[in-house]
Structure 1
Amino acid sequence: MQDSNKLLQQAQREIEASSKTSPTAAGPAEGHTAPSDAHIDALNEVFALFRINYHNQYYKAYSDGAVLGQIKKLWLESLQRFEPDTIRRGAREVIETSEYLPTLNKMMVACQGDPRKHGLKDPHSAYVEACQAPSPKTTFQWSHPAVYYAGRASDWYFLSSSTERTAFPVFAQHYKRLCERVINGETLTAPDTPALPEHTETPLSNEENLRRMQALRESLDI
């Protein structure tokens, strides 16, 4: 297979003039938000990469232009939950690991990545960790900073006072986005812990307190 970076550069040149219009972005289906231009660009790059890398398979599978347009709409609707860079990364992973034109399901798996390779728990295990972590949260030994930041974004009180049925979907949404950022190469810093004072004072003894009190009385002449 050709180097994926070279393929991506070639694909970008090929779609430069039509990236905004290729997957005919007609009105979104009910219940779905309209895809962004960045997502449309990313999907066009993905299909250009597939066309270059899987040339014969591509034209055999997508010989009908009208059908291809409908397929792109379906892919765009399913993949727009991911960031555009995640979609590009998923495509590069597919062409580097498979000799066959991917299905939408395989593409989604590639976009999701393998969180375990980055030390990330599955969403439900992360949710349990966030709910059970004692306060102060910043001093807890988190399995990964993504769990802490997902909990903070969800609101700690909301997690502790709501049922799992209500709270878990909110937490999972934040956590999956953070996992996506980590898988894409971002490093999340550990939560800030309160700084210890530079100097600690030892409480005065009773004798020293009495001595200072006597000195104060003498200075005030009382």
Structure 2
Amino acid sequence: MQDSNSLIHQVAQEIAASQNNSTTAAGQANPHQQGQQRAEQERPTPGDGHIDAINQVFALFRINYHNQYYAAFKDTELLNQARRLWLNSLAQFAPETILRGARTVIEESEYLPTLHRMIRACQGDPSKIGLVDAHQAYVEACRAPSPKAAHNWSHPAVYHAGCASDWYFLASNSEKIAFPIFERHYLKLCERVMNGAVLPAPNIPALPETIETPLSKEENVKRMEELRKQLGL
């Protein structure tokens, strides 16, 4: 039987292959399917760091939730299936964020966490650092007038998520199609901010240092006469 690392490497390759297949079929899909395919294409592929993080997480759970752990994962096959699922679902987070989430649930809960609880722990609480929830950010991005960079954003992450999603894509597709794309980019930016990153402010077009006032008719005539004299006309 394959060991857990081999199985997890295999699922990482399967995820990459499915993304390539989605890319090939994208030109033949309807808008809803294209939205789903775009979401799949933008789903991060797990790397070695993610594999190590998942293995560490399950080791921590085994130590802290000993009886619950062995009751939930009665055999190696079931355990490996859980690892594959968690690797696929948590690949959107950096490995250090996954480990931080595991430590959070261990400190806060006496019970072995579900995958949903783990995802929420990895996302953290963005509101503590001024970040609105993903849907509120999506509505703000869609309603912001142009030029987008000049809008008074609740947080730069909303603006950068809009840029990453493509403003035209957001404006020309329904929420059902566009929101999952925006949400993925926004949560990734929230993760970076919560890990200490400082996002640049929107690039607001600079106003000219001086504003030229058009010359009056009399001033134009006067300048033309001076130009004629200089040219000897």
TM over 0.5, shorter chain: yes
Structure 1 counterpart of 2:188:
177
Q: Counterparts of 1:180 and 1:115 in 2: how far apart (Å)?
A: 8
Query: Aligned residue for 1:45?
Result: 56
Q: Does 2:159 match 1:151?
A: no
Report the Cα distance in structure 2 between the residues aligned to 1:31 and 1:121, rounded to whole angstroms. Answer: 34
- Sort the Cα spacing of 1:137 and 1:36 in 2 relative to 1 into closer, same or farther, 3 A: same
Deviation at 1:35, TM superposition (A): 3.6
Report the CA distance between 1:133 and its aligned residue: 1.1
- Quick one: distance in 2 between partners of 1:59 and 1:99? 12
Q: Aligned equivalents of 1:95 and 1:221: distance in 2? A: 91
**What residue in structure 2 maps to residue 58 of structure 1?**
66
Deviations 1:190-209 (A, max 9, x none): 11111222333333333322
Cα distance per residue 1:92-113 (max 9 Å; x no partner) = 3223434554343322210121
Q: Is 1:203 aligned to residue 219 of structure 2?
A: no
Structure-2 residue corresponding to 1:167: 178
Q: What is the match of residue 86 of structure 1?
A: 97
Q: CA 1:35/1:138 → structure 2, altered by over 3 Å: closer, same or farther?
A: closer
Deviation of 1:30 (Å): 11
Q: Is the 8 A contact 2:53 2:99 kept in 1?
A: yes
Aligned to 2:29: none
The size of the alignment, in residue pairs, is: 200
Question: What per-residue deviation string (whole Å, max 9, x for no partner) do you get for residues 33-83 of structure 1?
Answer: 57421111111222334455x2xx326623856254443333323322322
Task: Give the AA of the match of 1:61.
Answer: Y
Q: What is the TM-score of this pair, normalised by structure 2?
A: 0.72
Q: Is the deviation greater in 113-122 or in 131-140?
A: 113-122
- Whether the 8 Å CA contact 2:62–2:69 is kept in 1: the answer is no
Q: Check if 1:190 corresponds to 2:173.
A: no
Aligned-pair Cα RMSD in Å: 2.9
Q: Distance in 1 between matches of 2:156 and 2:147?
A: 15
Cα gap change, 1:164 to 1:77, in 2 (>3 Å): closer
- Runs of at least 5 residues in structure 2 that lack an aligned partner in the other structure: 17-44
Q: Is the 8 A contact 1:23 1:44 kept in 2?
A: no
1:100-115 map, 5 Å:
100-115=111-126
Match of 1:25 in 2: 8
Note the C-alpha offset of 1:129: 1.4
Deviating above 4 A after TM superposition, structure 1's stretches of 4 or more consecutive aligned residues are 20-23, 29-34
Q: For the Cα contact (< 8 Å) 2:68–2:112, is it kept in 1?
A: no
Structure 2 Cα separation of the partners of residues 58 and 189 of structure 1: 45
- In structure 2, relative to structure 1, the CA distance for the partners of 1:103 and 1:172 (3 Å cut) is closer
Deviations 1:104-138 (A, max 9, x none): 33222101211222222222222221111111111
Structure 2 counterpart of 1:82, one-letter code: F
Deviation at 1:142, TM superposition (A): 1.0
Q: Report the CA distance shift for 1:21/1:179 in structure 2 as closer, same or farther (over 3 A).
A: same
Ranked by relative contact order (alpha carbons within 8 Å, sequence separation 6 or more), the top structure is 2
d(CA) in 2 for partners of 1:21 and 1:159? 40
Check whether the contact 2:4–2:80 (CA below 8 A) recurs between aligned residues. Answer: no
Does the Cα contact within 8 Å between 2:161 and 2:186 map onto a contact in 1? Answer: yes
Question: Whose helix fraction is larger, Structure 1's or Structure 2's?
Answer: 2
Identity %: 58
Please say if 1:213 is aligned against 2:224.
yes
**Residue 204 of structure 1: SS of its match in structure 2?**
coil
